[in-house]
Amino acid sequence: MKQRVDRQKPVIGIHKQTGEQVYFPSPYYAPGFKRAGIKKAISGRAKSHRGFTWRYATKFEREQFAQH
């Protein structure tokens, strides 16, 4: 399935124990994680996915991570 760039929503995962943050341009590009698990954690149907809490990145965070 081809992903449309204009429909992708960047996500940030925060490790529950260490506080480490991971950024992905969309759940589709999150190796080691399942898209459905990330989406369930974001929507509130699950508390976390693989030890990370998940949320959509803000506009500021998207710009910040794009510079790296």
- Tally of domains in the chain: 1
In a domain, 1, yes or no: no
Domain harbouring 38, CATH code: 1.10.10.10
1, 2, 32, 44 from 58: Cα distances, Å: 26, 24, 23, 18
Domain that holds residue 40: 8-66
Domain membership flag for residue 38 = yes
pLDDT at 67: 78
pTM summary value: 0.85
* Distance, CA of 53 to CA of 14 (rounded, Å): 5
Model pLDDT for residues 10-52, shown as the tens digit of each residue: 999 999 999 999 999 999 999 999 999 999 999 999 999 999 9
Residue 39 lies in a domain: yes
Residue from 14, 27, 20, 11 nearest 62 by CA: 11
**What three-state secondary structure class fits 53?**
strand
- Work out the pLDDT band at 5, boundaries 50, 70, 90: low
Whether 14 contacts 21, CB under 8 Å = yes
